Amino acid sequence: MKIMKSADSARIDYGELLADLVFVQVDQFNVVDRRLRSDLDMVLIEYLPMRVIDGTPNCRVQDLANGVRITVGGASKAVDRLSKRGWAERAPHPGDRRSSILRLTPEGERMLAAASGVVSEETSRRLAITLDAAETATLADLLSRLRADEDGSTIEGD
């Protein structure tokens, strides 16, 4: 990212900042996705919903949509794909007969654990090429703050 210096303050080229964010994300996504495919016959877009399902008590499709930042229709299709692979299932919601909760199957839990190891290994390896431990911690904090969604909204529509 280029920072343009002026007499009074630094000006940031936000177009270049956005490009840097996107390119780093795409590069990291591709590296992790290739490794998941190679090691576990899994793709990253299967891993991410599995994390949300596992980490959300009584997870509903809406919770998954919010957690992965996709539409409800996209979340429902993701659950269908995970169910077809035997990694997730829908079960009746204990407090609301109109809805269902999502949960990982025992095989899904095993796959999530294995995938989490791959993701951690590849991400830490790639970040360590450029960043030291303190910089990585700062990056994690900054990204977490940027990702925070105070109103819990998601993309509308399908």
| CATH number for the domain harbouring residue 54 | 1.10.10.10
CA distance 64 to 52: 6
> Does a structural domain hold residue 156?
no
Residue with the bigger pLDDT between 5 and 94: it is 94
pLDDT of residue 93: 85
> Does a structural domain hold residue 30?
yes
Question: Is residue 6 over pLDDT 60?
Answer: no
Whole-prediction pTM value? Answer: 0.83
The CA–CA distances, whole Å, from 82 to 51, 108, 124 equal 12, 8, 26
pLDDT band at 2 (very low <50, low <70, confident <90, very high): low
pLDDT of residue 149: 54
Question: Is residue 7 over pLDDT 60?
Answer: no
The CA–CA distances, whole Å, from 140 to 8, 33, 60, 78 equal 30, 20, 27, 26
Average pLDDT in the chain:
89
pLDDT of residue 136: 96
Give residue 123's Cα distance to chain centre: 13
> Does a structural domain hold residue 99?
yes
> Does a structural domain hold residue 54?
yes
Q: State the first-to-last Cα distance of the chain, in angstroms, to the nearest integer.
A: 34
Question: Is residue 3 over pLDDT 80?
Answer: no
Model confidence over 89-145: pLDDT tens digits? 999 988 888 889 999 999 999 999 999 999 999 999 999 999 999 999 999 999 988
Question: Is residue 153 over pLDDT 50?
Answer: no
Cα angle 149, 82, 48; round to 5: 30
Model confidence over 29-73: pLDDT tens digits? 999 999 999 999 999 999 999 999 999 999 999 999 999 999 999
> Does a structural domain hold residue 109?
yes
**Which residues form the domain of 26?**
15-143
| Number of domains making up the chain | 1
CA distance 9 to 119: 39
> Does a structural domain hold residue 4?
no
The fraction of the chain above a pLDDT of 70, given in percent, is: 88
Contact 24, 110 (CB under 8 A): no
> Does a structural domain hold residue 107?
yes
